[in-house]
């Protein structure tokens, strides 16, 4: 069972080997979780963000960009209307927003393979809309708004050896 801890314990966050859960009480704390995630990301990583509208996906992405080392003169905002923003830094970040695309065929038509298989980091808002297209290994982050300022943030590494937590008990 995963214990939910307050955001100030984000230093314990590990995106590679275990499920982690946090509770944040402000946009700044949500961004700090993002910073901790970003410092652990490597070229080729894919982060699928899941959460309702207004849950804090873009806020978390701002922290990820800071943690990865995106140049400070770049503004990280939601690419809802243009679908993909690219940010330069130590490692490029491809910030993809699938909010406006509900059909898998429309997502396929974007031609995301170059991004997903590239040498940058993909951060995909509404990542659950392309579950079938995500690489076998990726990081899934689910953000749930508990009230106006409190967010539950769950970070789950997905890989062939950790396909689900807890493991499926089917036959």
Which residues partner with 142 through β-bridges? Answer: 50, 154
Classify residue 101: in a domain, yes or no.
yes
CATH code of the domain covering residue 153? 3.40.50.300
Residue 1 has pLDDT above 80, yes or no: no
pTM: 0.85
Domain membership of residue 79 (yes or no) is yes
> What pLDDT, in 10s, does the model give residues 111-167?
898 899 889 999 999 999 999 899 999 999 999 999 999 999 999 999 875 444 334
Range of the domain at 94: 4-158
Q: How much is the average pLDDT of 4-32?
A: 80
Does residue 94 lie within any of the structural domains?
Answer: yes
Say how many domains are in the chain.
Answer: 1
Strands 20-24 and 121-125: unpaired
The answer for residues whose C-beta is within 8 angstroms of residue 171's C-beta and 6 or more apart is: none
Q: Is position 167 within any domain?
A: no
Q: Is the pLDDT of residue 7 over 70?
A: no
Q: Which pLDDT belongs to residue 161?
A: 55
Whether 64 is covered by a domain: the verdict is yes
Residue 22 lies in a domain: yes
Residue 171 in domain: no
Quick: pLDDT tens for 21-74.
999 999 999 999 999 999 999 999 999 999 999 999 999 999 999 999 998 888
Report yes or no on 166 lying in a domain. Answer: no
Supply φ then ψ for residue 109, to 5 degrees: -65, -20
Q: What is the pLDDT of residues 74-115, one digit of tens each?
A: 888 887 777 999 999 999 999 999 998 988 888 888 889 889
């Amino acid at each position: 069972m995963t214990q939910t801890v307050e955001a100030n314990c984000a230093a314990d966050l590990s995106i590679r080997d275990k499920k982690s859960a946090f509770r944040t009480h402000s946009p700044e704390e949500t961004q700090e979780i993002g910073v901790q995630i970003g410092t652990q990301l490597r070229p080729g990583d894919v982060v699928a963000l899941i959460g309702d509208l207004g849950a804090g996906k873009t806020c978390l992405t701002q922290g990820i960009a800071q943690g990865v080392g995106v140049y400070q003169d770049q503004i990280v905002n939601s690419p809802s209307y243009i679908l993909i923003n690219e940010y330069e830094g130590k490692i490029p970040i491809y910030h993809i927003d699938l909010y406006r695309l509900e059909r898998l065929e429309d997502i396929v038509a974007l031609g995301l393979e170059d991004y997903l298989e590239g040498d940058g980091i993909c951060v995909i808002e509404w990542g659950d809309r392309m579950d079938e297209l995500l690489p076998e290994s990726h990081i899934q982050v689910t953000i749930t708004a508990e009230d106006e300022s409190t967010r539950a943030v769950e970070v789950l590494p997905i890989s062939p050896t950790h396909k689900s937590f807890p493991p499926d008990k089917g036959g």
